[in-house]
Structure 1
Amino acid sequence: MGDVGGGVCTGESVGGGTDVWSSSGPAAADHLVVMVHGILGSTADWKFAADQFVKMLPDKVIVHCSERNMYGLTLDGVDVMGERLAEEVTEVINKWPDLQRISFIAHSVGGLVARYAIGRLYRPPERKSLEEPLDTLCDDSKRGTICGLQAMNFITVATPHLGSRGNKQVPFLLGVTAIEKVASCVIHWIFRRTGKHLFLTDNDEGKPPLLQRMVEDCDDLHFMSALQAFKRRVVYSNVGYDHIVGWRTSCIRRNSELPKWEDSSSEKYPHIVYEEYSAGSRNDKCPSDSFMNDDCDVLEEKLVTGLTRLSWERVDVSFHNISIQRFAAHSVIQVKDPFMHSEGADVIQHMIDHFLLA
């Protein structure tokens, strides 16, 4: 354990992860914030954000930077990583017995891993009778929990919720359909099982692709019930210059729903260019012809329709007006490196300012 200055202490957690808390002691903090890195990442990727959360919310939160899926382990598949993360979170909760609430903040593929993990950790609410439907239990006392803790904020940052196979979903493929089709066939050579999940080419035992299964409760994995348990669901997305994850897949919108944005006039959040709250829709009908075009296939529409049954806060980010850092937008939005990616600090500040504590 060590004091890193500014009222922040860090210590090695279970399994080698990193816990961050206020130097005044963790006793008063009852809110666990789990930060999950992306592909080929490590606990260090969230260090800046973890420190800022504890500095700005002293005695309120304990931050755990996940370590169970670092570096090459991120290629093992979303499901395998999700199971590891669920086990890790359970161990962390057992370490801090006074915890009451839990939130997740995840970057890139880590957002999919977190969605899988909460599906495993979800505990349904108690019902007075078996006839009482789960989806009518709206008050906090009857919400489901995540491993026994009240679910507060589920935040993803540049996460490919709709996968990576659609047109312009991986911008560095230049939107060329032929290249995108080839990539979907060979991506597993590079990113192994995770690549199959991202490009929706997996069919384990004849099952639908994992990301499709994750827009429903599936067997003993309560993917959507777990998401619904959170008081807030938020997606932060790069509108451009993110060469890894496209805008549409990270903000869970159709092409026709992408907003026209303008430069920010905010001094506090100079890179937040658009915000909206979208209420959940119970429309489970097949996609209409107006949504079907060359840029959106049936499977992608199923993912959009499934996820937007729940409400989402969308925060769109642009680094187009900064110099060289904009070309690393996928890392800048997370402030992966405080020196190289410092322009994203206002995005982290926005997360903290809007973070729901209770």
Structure 2
Amino acid sequence: MAEADHKADHLCVLVHGLWGNPSHLKYVATALRERHGEDRLYILAAQSNAGNNTYDGIELGGERVAHEIEETLGKLSEQGYRIKKLSVVGYSMGGLVARYAIGLLEAHGWFNKLEPVNFTTFASPHVGVRSPVKGVWSYLFNVLGPRTLSMSGKQMFMVDKFRDTGKPLLSVLATPDSIFMRGLARFKNRAVYGNIINDRSTVFYTTAISKVDPFHDPENTRFNYISGYEPVIIDMNQYIAPHVDDAEEGNAEERTSSAVALLRRYMVGPAKRAPFYLFLVCFVPVSLTLFLLASVVQTFRSNKRIQLHNEGKAGIVPTKYRVPVMVRDMQGAVEDVFENVNASQDPEYLDEDEEGYADHNMHNGNARKPPSKEKNAGKSPTAESPADDVKYPLLALTREQFDIIDSLNAIGFRKYPVYIHKAMHSHAAIIVRMPRESFSEGKIVVKHWLDNEFEL
């Protein structure tokens, strides 16, 4: 009895992203252990989807993680642990895999035994990865992307049809009354962190579950940072800093000096840019060809793994996790409102007469707690009094994407814009994916999360 009292009662699950492995979340795991200690928090860095297994899709990945969590809970129980609380952290595509696994845990009754405490994602594409901007590169990205990442690509670009629903899996994940939304809504704290620049993998609108992008010109904007976490974490309630007089402008310049220095590194003369252009002309076509060939191989292997999994030959009984995704029978309750939309849709923004403008708070749903059952349920605490008093044009997203945003915002998330200045690869820097000096600002992100969003 005494020994059990000294063992952790809180399980925290870390789920890595595409092409990832548990080491990508090593800094996050280390920071958690240093803050809370192994006698208070048990950390599971999910490893069943490591490497090329992430090609196999969100559904299969979610089943693997759910199986891994259930196995871990069983082993911990045998070792004398009494796990009472559960937290889940997802990075990049791992946030979607985590949401699928949470739905399965809900369906299996685990949240009647455990208290879901914290759900957090870092740079996760909750609204998919389709580019909402115009141009040939965006068109190629939207068309070729789903074809180079096997099932995961199809699901993140929302060109798949999940089982017999006829809808993309990401739409099903956000369907009201589904096991996925019911499970997600049970968590006491829900938060997302998204990069505002230099994250080409998962741009701000999808990581922050937003219909707008308030950060189209960050270099010429004076942001209002959260005290103690500047100049990285932007205040979600007031993005833009109040006007200051000339005497204070020097401080603003100091805060943006690192960004200026970074820009200068790339704004060099034509002669110095020559090697870069040579690299683009000579090396990129070869690399792209090799990448596409490798994608064909990995897609073939992924399809074989999916087939083995569905036949029950991969170590997991698939029927155990193929539970109904709807908690209640919704037959006839709603019509199929999802449309087949061309992936190269334009324009970049919707027109004003199409209700194309909105303040960021009204559409971002910055709420810490689940909505109440009162008249204004579903609105954020700041929805009726926009902090910045600025309206932004709605991005040209698809009907499915707007529905996903509305559904997820209805249960409420705390949303933190992240401004990484020192690294061009902000997608990796946000969680300090490797020990690089240029990724040091990610430590501020993790510290903010531990200080404000991770409750033991």
Identity of counterpart residues, as a percentage?
A: 28
CA distance in 1, matches of 2:176, 2:229: 39
Q: Deviations over 1:287-325 (max 9, x none)?
A: xxx9996622211111111111101111111012x2xx2
Q: Deviations over 1:181-202 (max 9, x none)?
A: 3333322332111010111000
- Residue 354 of structure 1, CA deviation: 1.9
Alignment equivalent of 1:180, drawn from 129, 132, 138 = 138
Alignment equivalent of 1:82, drawn from 57, 62, 66 = 62
SS of residue matched to 1:272: coil
Does residue 272 (structure 1) correspond to residue 233 (structure 2)? The answer is yes
Alignment equivalent of 1:153, drawn from 99, 114, 118 = 118
- Partner residue in 1 for 2:398: 297
In the TM superposition, what are the counterparts of 1:244-255 in structure 2 within 5 Å? 244-255=201-212
Alignment equivalent of 1:315, drawn from 399, 411, 416 = 416
Q: Output the amino acid matched with 1:111.
A: G
Q: Is the Cα contact below 8 Å between 2:147 and 2:154 reproduced in 1?
A: no
- Residue 160 of structure 1, CA deviation: 0.6
Alignment equivalent of 2:432, drawn from 335, 342, 349 = 335
TM-score normalised by L of structure 2: 0.60
Q: Is the Cα contact below 8 Å between 2:116 and 2:188 reproduced in 1?
A: yes
Alignment coverage as a number of residue pairs: 297
Q: Is the Cα contact below 8 Å between 2:429 and 2:441 reproduced in 1?
A: yes
SS of residue matched to 1:235: strand
- Partner residue in 1 for 2:105: 121
CA distance in 2, matches of 1:269, 1:145: 39
Does residue 104 (structure 1) correspond to residue 84 (structure 2)? The answer is no
- Residue 267 of structure 1, CA deviation: 4.1
CA 1:120–1:184: 2 relative to 1, 3 Å: same
CA distance in 2, matches of 1:228, 1:261: 35
- Residue 342 of structure 1, CA deviation: 2.6
Higher relative contact order at CA 8 Å, sep ≥6: structure 1 or structure 2?
2
CA distance in 1, matches of 2:215, 2:406: 15
CA distance in 1, matches of 2:68, 2:33: 21
Alignment equivalent of 2:168, drawn from 201, 205, 209 = 209
Q: Higher strand fraction: Structure 1 or Structure 2?
A: 1
Q: Is the Cα contact below 8 Å between 2:65 and 2:101 reproduced in 1?
A: yes
CA distance in 2, matches of 1:45, 1:147: 31
Q: Higher helix fraction: Structure 1 or Structure 2?
A: 2
The gaps in structure 2 that reach 5 residues or longer are 238-364, 372-376, 380-390
- Partner residue in 1 for 2:15: 36
The gaps in structure 1 that reach 5 residues or longer are 1-23, 125-143, 168-174, 284-289
CA distance in 2, matches of 1:333, 1:108: 10
CA distance in 2, matches of 1:217, 1:63: 30
SS of residue matched to 2:120: strand
CA distance in 2, matches of 1:255, 1:332: 23
In the TM superposition, what are the counterparts of 1:42-61 in structure 2 within 5 Å? 42-58=21-37, 59-61=39-41
SS of residue matched to 1:275: coil
Kindly name which structure, 1 or 2, has the bigger radius of gyration based on alpha carbons. Answer: 2
TM-score normalised by L of structure 1: 0.75
CA distance in 1, matches of 2:157, 2:58: 12
Of the structure 1 ranges 44-53 and 198-207, higher mean CA displacement relative to structure 2 is found in 198-207
Q: Is the Cα contact below 8 Å between 2:233 and 2:418 reproduced in 1?
A: yes
CA 1:71–1:308: 2 relative to 1, 3 Å: same
Q: Deviations over 1:208-237 (max 9, x none)?
A: 00000111257xx60100011000110001
Q: Is the Cα contact below 8 Å between 1:42 and 1:71 reproduced in 2?
A: yes
Q: Deviations over 1:109-134 (max 9, x none)?
A: 0000000000001158xxxxxxxxxx
